[in-house]
A and B are shown apart, each in its own frame.
Chain A
Amino acid sequence: MSTTNVQDAAQDMSQQAETTTAHETAAQSSQAPGSDVAPGGTTITDAPPDVIKMKGRNVDVFYGDKQALFDVDLDIGERQVTALIGPSGCGKSTFLRCLNRMNDTIDIARIEGDITLGEQDIYDPHIDVVELRARVGMIFQKPNPFPKSIFENIAYGPRVHGLADTKTDLEEIVVTSLQKAGLFEEVKDRLDAPGTGLSGGQQQRLCIARAIATSPEVLLMDEPCSALDPIATAKVEELIDELRENFTVVIVTHSMQQAARVSQRTAFFHLGILVEVGATDQIFTNPRDTRTRDYITGRFG
């Protein structure tokens, strides 16, 4: 219960601070021989997406005095899955939480640089954070269904945003969302049962259904499968792949296999630096940075 995403982010940061020396040594030793290594802060970028949905430029994030992200430039392609990978504490979750300003809920967090959604700077003071989050939904590491019925869980978003005028509309949204999340067949007989009574995988898909019920444009997923068993994970991964048709998806994952399976583009973070970003195939088969190579071959992380 106590591990929340806010805490995770803060924890990531502190872990990063603790492990910095070790990682630096590793990084230095691996950097030393290779000449094709980009100096820290300069990202190797390959194969930019066709249509850019979100764009981050010179993003720095600070938690109090500590800097968690350094000068990150990253483009998120529309209607594709972008995976953010890297060892724990590398800042990938931090970056994800910047994309719908969930970092606002942490008092000590401070963000510099520009992040745009479409043409809009989402940190513009005129931008409304509620509207932003309606457009950029988020799925969390641990499934967090509300202690309400399955129906009410999904109807929650449309209700607060006033998306359904009649009860029939609302029911339709709920059913469609459940179908999109591949959960409808499993729960259609018990829409009034509490959402907390579902299994872990079902709960996570319920959360996904809840998120898509508000019709966001972008879906952020923060290690959505880390609390699930392999079968449930497979189902969620399948679902993510389907979501790509309608939504732009950004997923943070610990598992390189998962990134390889579901994403089209992959960004590798290390120690708060975006080291390398490119087409998933290319990152996994032919990484250009030694750190990326070391990470995906399992030498650290």
Chain B
Amino acid sequence: MFWLLFLALLLVFAASLYIGAQRSRQVAGPNTHVLHSRPSYHGGYLAIMATVPALGLLIIWSIAQGPIIDGMVVGQFSDEFEALSLPAREAFLRDARAIAFGGIVSFTDELKEAAAQIYQNLYRISTIAMTVLMALFVVVGFRRGYSSIEPKRRTRHFVERAVMIVLIACSVVAIFTTVGIVLSLIFESIRFFTMIPIHNFLFGLHWSPQSAFAGAGEVVDANPEVFGAIPLIAGTLFITFIAMLVAGPVGLFAAIYLSDYASNTVRAVAKPVLEVLAGVPTVVYGFFAALTVAPFIRNSGEGLGLDVSSESALAAGLVMGIMIIPFVSSLSDDVISAVPQSLRDGSLALGSTKSETIRRVVLPAALPGIVSAMILAISRAIGETMIVVMAAGLAANLTINPLEAVTTVTVQIVTLLVGDQEFDSAKTLAAFALGLLLFCVTLTLNFIALRVVQKYREQYD
């Protein structure tokens, strides 16, 4: 229904565009120069007048009607609901809605059928009322707009202001997204921290939320001792460290080689190679890690008589490193290229070799930029999910042996949230607390990196 009405509004919009333009030509007479604004603006003016109020109504009504109707149904069955627990009430309403509008019904009885009937009626009334009201809005808006079209009317200003409002609204989406992320994470995290004290979460050494509950689905007091995030943080940092051990030197040297040594032909081959590496989806890297790299490391480890886990931190870290190589190299390439040629010339003219120039002049000059590239790469590695989900372990071990399995923050978020979830359990909410942790850490790192890079840019601009 929503989309049907929306479509109708679109039609009205298009029609008003045309009618408004025609009307302005009509009022202008033979001499269109008397119009302050071009006819198309009059059309836009009329279209906005006719449809925007109705559109607003449509959106607000559609959002509001669900909860209001739910409330009315609950009111009808208040006696029966007394006896039910909160989840049971929700299940009841869910089933009633499913009976009324189609969907998966767990089981049905007379009471639910009755509720479904009420649902259907209320929705029908609501839809009719909304449609009528919208039609009214359209007619009134259209008439007011139509009658006010006259040559002197500054409809261009009106339309341009409307467009500007739309543009600003679009820009603000970025803020809303951040606010949405922060609020949803904080909100759920607070619920989590009411169950599990925050110090247990941040400083606890033991993580096994699966063992927090006695029986499936039964809400029992969660044991705060099993929500210690330290092993996850340690595991995340450990894998990140291994990844940076690979990506840092390889990426940096590749950038140096490409910016200062490589001939044009080499560059023409090597840059696309790095771009392809950068464009490979992380799930592919994960598959590669789980299927090729991890068994290879295990087999070669066993060949040396070492005990290697099939989900070793080394495999996940190594592949994550490969993934980050192009990231490091392209960021470093940018900063290395930004070092003025005059500095290189100055150094070469003193009789230093290319490598001396790079090591002693270019790299120190580019250092802030390189540092920020590395920070961004670390932030990227910390937030990377698929590789570790597919190649790292699930058990939270506190170890520094790269051949053992460790788990990471992102792996645990995925494990806790994929599959059946009850939204009130500490187990599910823990994922949001981990998400908040992740968000804060990466945000801080990005912020530092951007600051460093900004300082660096100022130096040479």
Contact = CB atoms under 8 A, between A and B. Distances in A.
Instruction: Please indicate whether A and B come from the same complex rather than being unrelated chains.
Output: yes
Given A134-B350, A161-B351, A105 B345 contact: yes
B365 A147 contact: yes
Given A4-B340, A146-B361, A133 B350 contact: yes
A137 interface: yes
Given A144-B342, A147-B364, A147-B459, A105 B348 contact: yes
Interface of A is mostly: helix
B217 to A, nearest CB: 64
For chain A, give the interface size range: 35 or more
A160 B345 contact: no
Contacts of A137: 349-351
B360 interface: yes
Interface of B is mostly: helix
Interface string A1-45: 110111100000000000000000000000000000000000000
Contacts, number: 86
B351 A130 contact: yes
Interface string B333-366: 0000000111111111111110010001100110
A214 B351 CA distance: 9
B461 interface: yes
A156 B360 contact: yes
Contacts of A7: 341
Given A146-B361, A147-B459, A156 B345 contact: no
Nearest to B264: A107
B461 A5 contact: no
B460 A100 contact: no
Contact of B340 (A131, A144, A220): A144
Interface in A90-135: 100, 102, 105, 107, 130-135
A1 B340 contact: yes
B342 A133 contact: no
A219 to B, nearest CB: 10
Interface string A237-273: 0000000000000000000000000000000000000
B441 to A, nearest CB: 31
A211 B340 contact: no
Contact of A102 (B348, B361, B459, B461): B348
Nearest to B341: A4
Contacts of A214: 350-351
Nearest to B339: A147
A174 B431 CA distance: 61
A6 B353 contact: no
A140 B345 contact: yes
A133 B350 CA distance: 6
B349 A4 contact: no
Listed from nearest, the 9 A-B pairs whose CB atoms lie closest are A134-B351, A138-B349, A133-B351, A4-B341, A144-B342, A144-B346, A157-B350, A160-B352, A147-B365
Given A1-B340, A2-B340, 14 more contacts: A4-B341, A102-B348, A105-B345, A105-B348, A130-B351, A132-B351, A135-B351, A140-B342, A144-B345, A146-B343, A148-B364, A160-B353, A207-B346, A214-B351
Interface of B: 264, 340-353, 356, 360-361, 364-365, 459-461
14 contacts: A1-B461, A4-B341, A6-B345, A105-B345, A105-B348, A107-B264, A130-B353, A137-B349, A144-B345, A146-B343, A148-B364, A159-B360, A160-B360, A161-B351
